[in-house]
């Protein structure tokens, strides 16, 4: 009889230990899922912030490109050359060197 009780106690202990391990495993899995979700949200916010920065930099780039186009424009250069007393050279007096 004592062998049966000892075996029963041992099997009860193993069942309890297995249940505890199962609960710990489930808690670890749930914790891992929560951590992954939080990291995913953080990365999502970071991506949105980077998209905003990229958009503002694109707008800034377009402004600089427009300013550069204005500074390079032929009309503006002719106007500036007149302000400095420069004239367009006579095409007959232009020599091309290779």
- In tens, the pLDDT along 67-78 reads 999 999 989 998
For residues 70 and 76, the answer to whether their CB atoms sit within 8 Å is yes
* pTM check: above 0.85: no
For residues 7 and 15, the answer to whether their CB atoms sit within 8 Å is no
The gap from C-alpha 47 to its chain's centroid, in whole angstroms, comes to: 4
94 half-sphere exposure, CB direction, 13 A CA radius: 5
For residues 9 and 15, the answer to whether their CB atoms sit within 8 Å is no
- In tens, the pLDDT along 32-71 reads 999 999 999 999 999 999 999 999 999 999 999 999 999 9
The gap from C-alpha 24 to its chain's centroid, in whole angstroms, comes to: 36
């Amino acid at each position: 009889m004592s062998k049966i009780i000892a075996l029963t106690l041992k099997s009860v202990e193993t069942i309890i230990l297995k249940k505890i391990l199962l609960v710990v495993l489930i808690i670890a899995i749930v914790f891992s899922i929560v951590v992954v979700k939080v990291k995913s949200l953080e990365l999502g916010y970071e991506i949105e912030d980077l998209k905003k920065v990229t958009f503002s930099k694109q707008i800034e780039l377009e402004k600089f490109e427009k300013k550069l186009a204005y500074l390079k424009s032929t009309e503006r250069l002719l106007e500036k050359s007149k302000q400095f007393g420069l004239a367009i050279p006579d095409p007959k007096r232009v020599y091309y060197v290779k």
